[in-house]
Each structure stands twice: as C-alpha cells, then as structure tokens.
Amino acid sequence: MATAVKDRLIRATTELMRRHGVAGTAVAEILSTSGAARRSIYLNFPNGKSELVTEATRVAGESMAVALADIVASDDPIGLFTQVWVELLESTDFEAGCPIVAAGLGRADSEDAAELAGAVFAEWYALVAGRMVDEGVAPEVAESLAVTVVSAIEGAVIACQAQRTVVPLRQVSARLTDLVAMHVPT
C-alpha cells in the first residue's frame, strides 16, 4: 500500500514539475493531484518536498533514458525525438515540458535534484554519442554533437512552450539532422 502512495506522489510531482517547474510545484498541489494524505509525504519522504522532487527526477530520468535508448536505436533518432516532443507539447496545449530541465533549474528548491538532473543529461549525451560512434563519427566529435543535439532539442522545447508552436522544434530538428549528417562517413 505504501508503495502505491509513494508512486502516486512521484507521478504527481513529475507531472507538476513538467508544467510548473520545481518552485511552482506546491506540496498542497502534489497532495491534491496524487490524492494522498499530507502525512504520506513525510512518511515516504522524511526530508519533504526536496526529497520528493529528487526522487521524481530520478524516476523520470530513468524512464526517459529507456525511451531515449529506443529512440536512439531507431532509423531516424532526431526525427523521432522531435516527434515525441511535438506530440507531447500539442497534447498538453504546450504546458508539459521536461521534468529534468525543471529539476536542473530548481536548484534553489532542491540542490540534490539539480545535481541529479546534470547526471541525467550526461547519460542522455552518452546514449546519443554512442549511436553516432556506431555510425562512424569520431568519439570526440560524437560527444560534442550529442551535447548539441540534446541541448538544442531541449531548448527548442522551451521555445515551443513560450511561443505555443512547434515551429522552433521542427526548425532545430532539421538543422540538427543536417549537422549530424555532415559528420557521418558515407
């Protein structure tokens, strides 16, 4: 029973972080969204919201790494990564962004979650770079390109939310595809 409550708290926190950032995710809203009692937060997360945000970041990071591994293994990783974001943005009326970005920006509320976000991004870079190396891109170039790809897409997601259009994401995707193609041996 406690695990179900804990999972609901984590899911609610992740969803709220996606939509409101860490600072905008209030404990009262986590409780309302999860349907959990106030004491359940402190029973499951003795250090309160900061610990809950860190755990939500860990769970979201693991889940997104699995999804990214599947995306990276596809025939068109940049196109598929873009399409996943386009669908999420459009289906949430541009409200849901990346919980890992939210955690990274939420250092004032949860330093541990921000540190973990940095590690999650490093894992994503390694996944993308691994695919490029498999395609013949030199490792040092693949590492730099991977940071560029992930960072540009995540930045484009933020621009899409601000402008309420997927145009920035589609434009970034097209240029990234061209950029990566320049480094893949033919």
pTM given for the model:
0.93
Give, for 11, the enclosing helix (H) or strand (E).
helix 2-20
Residue 165 C-alpha from the chain's centroid: 19
Q: Where would I find the H helices in 38-183?
A: 38-44, 49-72, 77-91, 99-105, 111-134, 139-163, 167-183
pLDDT in tens, 102-141: 999 999 999 999 999 999 999 999 999 999 999 999 999 9
Q: For 56-183, give the CATH class.
A: mainly alpha
The mean per-residue pLDDT over the stretch 72-86 comes to: 96
User: Domain extents for the chain?
Assistant: 56-183
